Homo-oligomer: A and B are copies of this chain.
Amino acid sequence: MPRIGMQPIRRKALIEATIDEIGARGSLDVTVARIARRAGVSSALAHHYFGNKEQIFLAAMRQTLSEYGAEVRAGLKAARTPRERVEAIVRAGFSEGHFRSAVLAAWLNFYVLARTSRQAERLLVVYHRRIVANLAQALRPLAGTAASDIAETLAAVIDGVYLREGLGQGTPDGAAAARRVLAVLDAELTARGGPGTQDKDRTET
């Protein structure tokens, strides 16, 4: 059975299995054996490829983060106006691909992991910075010097909505979630720049 060049295939399968298993289990309390079984391999192979459990988790985290990043980039590419750029970033977080119970559980658990693992923490911090930077850049034309501050707030709202919506058992409503975040954006812009600014932005867009 052993064919050559399996490494990337197995790694990918194990990473997906990890996210799914965390999602299914709802906690980091998943065993390597179950992850491996889900991926259709032995637990020994999982260790062979990743070294230890933490590395498996970190790989899953990197994967989730980079998928999210890709979604953000794809959204940004399609956006034409500053406003659209901000919306793209916000919507990426609540897309069907990511705003699922399993992925949400994974995210939540990565936050927990970050409290224990230095590497996990670093990943999360980097991701945080990147989101804020993306938001700030998109907001600059709309909010000027307030861009950074609004970006920071929006990032927090995204996380908060994500967290709260995810608590429910049912399928989370991504559209509603995104709407709530964008409402905060609108409010901030209106309040800071006055209606004029906002209107101007909208017109521009």
Given contacts A159-B163, A167-B125, are A183 and B153 in contact (CB under 8 A)?
A: yes
Asked if residues B108 and A112 are in contact (CB atoms below 8 Å), the reply is yes
Could you say how many copies of this chain the assembly holds? 4
At the interface, yes or no: A47 with Cβ under 8 Å from chain B? no
A51 CB to closest chain B CB (Å) equals: 14
Q: Is the interface of A mostly helix, strand, loop or mixed?
A: helix
Q: Give A residues with C-beta under 8 Å from B.
A: 25-29, 105, 108-109, 111-116, 121, 124-125, 128, 149, 152-153, 155-164, 167, 169, 180, 183-184, 186-188, 190-192
Q: Which residues of B contact A27 (CB under 8 A)?
A: 28, 112-113, 115-116
- Chain B CB within 10 Å — which of A108, A125, A128 has the most? A108
Bound form: Cα–Cα A164–B161 in Å:
13
- Asked, given contacts A128-B167, A184-B187, A184-B188, whether A28 binds B156 with beta carbons under 8 Å apart, the answer is no
- Are A157 and B153 within 8 A (Cβ)? yes
